[in-house]
Amino acid sequence: MREQLQAALGGIHAEPELKAAARAAVARRARRHGLAARPLRLALAAAACVAVILGGQWLYFTPTEHISIDINPSLELGINRFDRVVSVQGWNEDGAALAEEVSVENLPYTQAVQTILASDTVQTLLADDGVVEIGVIGEDDARCARMLAGVQACTDETNAHCYRADPHEVEQAHDCGLSYGKYQAYQELAALDPTVTPEEVQGMTMRQIRDRIAALSGTASPETAAPAASGGAWGSADCEAAQNQETEKGHHGEGHHGGD
């Protein structure tokens, strides 16, 4: 009986048309599945690309620290987490003109500071016994200290004042329409002469403000004794190396007078 059953059932085979119909159905289903899955895969890939691009843009273009440069032109550089300049803002007319004159976006901040200090406008002012104040503004102490050291290395042997500033005070300066360096000088001057206004200070050079503070307080301006900057004094070769040095200098309120 086993043999009989095996012989009878063994005579049954799938017809070629049945197999062909099954293959066609499988192919149709596979194609439909592929078509259905493709838009989803594409959408996911596109979303991932957009996330990476937006995330990368955010990482690159968001300034984490600022560098405020005041002579009379008042400039602020936005520095990203990769130590590159991502924004340049002039805080007065001269500052806006200087921002137009120099092209420092995407440069390392030390190179940007060198470029600005070596510009014709700044060199002319420094040659005329100008005073430059450069502030590093940010919340990360270690990073700001390192940046301050880098900036100081760019201003060696000059009548420059480098300092570290608190971001919250910077906001107050901006509310007055001043860069932080000029705002600090304005506060010093306002303490001696309450009639002075931010608008008035905005048009003064740092030298003029310092001289007026010195005159009102009856002391000699420290920068007056400093030698005038020469073109070769800016942007020393040590600048880049100094950027990597950790330094104890430059905590909030501390500063460095290049001409001291």
Partner 1 sequence: MRSEQEVNRAIEQYADTVRRICFVHLKNRADTEDIFQTVFVKYLLYSQPFASAEHERAWIIRVTLNACKDLLKSFFRSRMVPLEELSDRAASADREQREVLQAVLALPEPYRDVIYLHYYEGYTAPEIAGILGKNVNTVYTRLTRARGLLRQALGGEVDA
Write out the residues near partner 1 by the rule CB under 8 A: 1-2, 4-15, 18-19, 21-23, 25-27, 29-30, 33
Q: How far is the CB of 174 from partner 1 (least distance, A)?
A: 59
| Nearest to partner 1 of 5, 142 (CB atom) | 5
CA-to-CA dists, residue 174 to 12, 33, 61, 90, 201, angstroms? 91, 59, 21, 12, 13
| Nearest to partner 1 of 23, 249 (CB atom) | 23
Q: Are strands 160-165 and 65-70 parallel, antiparallel or unpaired?
A: unpaired
| Nearest to partner 1 of 15, 248 (CB atom) | 15
Print the SS3 string covering 125-192.
Answer: HHHCCCCEEEEEECCCHHHHHHHHHHHHHHCCCCCEEEEEECHHHHHHHHHCCCCHHHHHHHHHHHHH
| Nearest to partner 1 of 22, 53 (CB atom) | 22
Q: How far is the CB of 40 from partner 1 (least distance, A)?
A: 14
**How many other C-beta atoms are found inside a 10 Å radius of the C-beta of residue 2?**
6
| Nearest to partner 1 of 25, 97 (CB atom) | 25
Q: How far is the CB of 10 from partner 1 (least distance, A)?
A: 7
Q: Are strands 132-137 and 85-90 parallel, antiparallel or unpaired?
A: unpaired
Q: How far is the CB of 24 from partner 1 (least distance, A)?
A: 9
Q: Which residues of 135-153 are buried (b: 16+ CB within 10 A; e: fewer)?
A: bbbbeeeebbbbbbbbbbb
Q: How far is the CB of 44 from partner 1 (least distance, A)?
A: 17
